[in-house]
Structure 1
Amino acid sequence: MRKLFSWLGPPPGAKAASLYAALVAMARDKHWYVEGKVSDDLDGRFAILSTLVALATLRLEDGEEDAVRTSVALTEAFIADMDSQMRELGFDTTIGKQVRGLVGALASRVDRWRHASDENADHEEWKAATLFSVYRDEDPGEDALTYAEEQLRRVAERMAGEPDAALIKGDL
């Protein structure tokens, strides 16, 4: 059926497919769940993925016009993936209430990271954003929190150092 309507245009999020795939691969890295002590379940994996998507969204919003458009496509890719995953798991998404909740969770992470990434923000704000975004304000212990905070800072710095075109291609 999808091929039949392919003339209507690419599916939502197609422009950001490579970047989204790179973020998903990054979220699957074991180090988040071992050294970072993120729970290796649906909630923990969602927390890491949505945090990485939030950081990428903020970086894209700081780019040129094509990057800004890709930030919208990245959100669309995230929504499409979450909808697909929830359907696969047997959730009833006809109303979309669950998907809207996940999108709201992404939006709150974007807002939190926007504030923590501000040039006037201090170390404590980045730490608080990590605690909120990755651990949902449940203290994982100082070592795990510090590890996740440092890893997220490295990811954000790596994205900041990439040209828009490379980031859009998913070159992380």
Structure 2
Amino acid sequence: MIPRLLLGGPPPPRIPKMLRWLKKQSETGRRAGELYGSVVTAARQLAFYELIGVPDTPEGRFELVALHLYLALESLRGEAPGAEALKQRMIEVFVNDMDDCMREMGVGDLAVPKKVKRAAAAFYERATIYQRDGADESRLAASLGHYIFADAAGREDARRALARYVDAASSALKHEAFDDWVESGAARRLLDASCTSTIRITAT
């Protein structure tokens, strides 16, 4: 059978389907970028550093980005069929961001791929642990402390504040899109409430 394109007829159905697929891919990439932007915005809240005491270092900032990326991906669980593709694209955006950040920090070109690979593996490790411990505030607080306050074993109040924040965020994100939740200020209010009910009361 001679291909229809060689006969000058109308294009086969697969070409419009391919265009639709490319458009869908573009929309997924745009949405992934928007969501990841909200992840970074949430991770940059000053209260994490000024009230809870998360180290304001590349490592501390990475931990908060990883934590909020986990929350954003969990919020997509059980969503429409395109959610899995969106989650994958968000992880790709995260990996590209890590690549850019390391280059900006002066990491050599040869070392960047290995460090990015380790950063991706570190995220998957944390996401697995946070999901495992999410139903138990004490275990979650311990895990958060292990990753975020590795050099501050005595900060029990900070670990509890973070665990309460994550628990409240997980509940809220069952009913609200992650970027809407961040843009509305709900993330900041939850963080402030977690600090008030844990750190400030503990301090008094």
1:79 aligns with 2:88: no
**CA-to-partner distance for each residue in 1:65-91, whole Å, 9 max, x for gaps?**
222221111111100101011111111
1:88 aligns with 2:97: no
Amino acid across the alignment from 1:75: I
The change in CA–CA distance for 1:78 and 1:17 in structure 2 (over 3 A counts) is same
Structure 1: 5+ residue stretches without partners? 1-6
The change in CA–CA distance for 1:66 and 1:132 in structure 2 (over 3 A counts) is farther
1:138 positional shift: 4.4
Q: Is this contact kept in 2: 1:86–1:93, CA < 8 A?
A: no
Indicate the SS of the match to 2:180: coil
Q: Percent identity?
A: 26
Indicate the SS of the match to 1:65: coil
1:23 positional shift: 1.0
1:137 positional shift: 7.5
- The residue that corresponds to 1:3 in the other structure is none
Q: Which structure is richer in relative contact order (CA contacts within 8 A, separation 6 or more)? A: 1
The change in CA–CA distance for 1:137 and 1:155 in structure 2 (over 3 A counts) is farther
In the alignment, the residues of structure 1 paired with residue 169 and residue 137 of structure 2 have an alpha-carbon distance, to the nearest angstrom, of 16
Runs of 4+ in 1 over 3 A off after TM superposition: 12-15
1:154 positional shift: 2.3
Amino acid across the alignment from 1:151: Y
- The residue that corresponds to 1:39 in the other structure is 55
In the alignment, the residues of structure 2 paired with residue 53 and residue 103 of structure 1 have an alpha-carbon distance, to the nearest angstrom, of 12
Highest Rg: 1 or 2? 2
The change in CA–CA distance for 1:83 and 1:140 in structure 2 (over 3 A counts) is farther
- The residue that corresponds to 1:53 in the other structure is 69
Equivalent of 2:85, from 58, 69, 73? 69
1:29 positional shift: 0.6
- The residue that corresponds to 2:124 in the other structure is 107
In the alignment, the residues of structure 2 paired with residue 41 and residue 140 of structure 1 have an alpha-carbon distance, to the nearest angstrom, of 19
1:161 positional shift: 1.8
Q: Is this contact kept in 2: 1:51–1:134, CA < 8 A?
A: no
Q: Is this contact kept in 2: 1:56–1:156, CA < 8 A?
A: no
**Total equivalences in the alignment:** 158
Q: Is this contact kept in 1: 2:137–2:164, CA < 8 A?
A: no
Say which is worse superposed, 122-131 or 36-45, in terms of deviation.
Answer: 122-131
Q: Is this contact kept in 2: 1:130–1:145, CA < 8 A?
A: yes
In the alignment, the residues of structure 1 paired with residue 151 and residue 76 of structure 2 have an alpha-carbon distance, to the nearest angstrom, of 27
1:140 positional shift: 5.0
Q: Is this contact kept in 2: 1:116–1:126, CA < 8 A?
A: yes
1:153 positional shift: 1.9
1:22 aligns with 2:38: yes
**CA-to-partner distance for each residue in 1:19-71, whole Å, 9 max, x for gaps?**
11111011111000122110011111111111110122222233222222211
1:171 aligns with 2:188: no
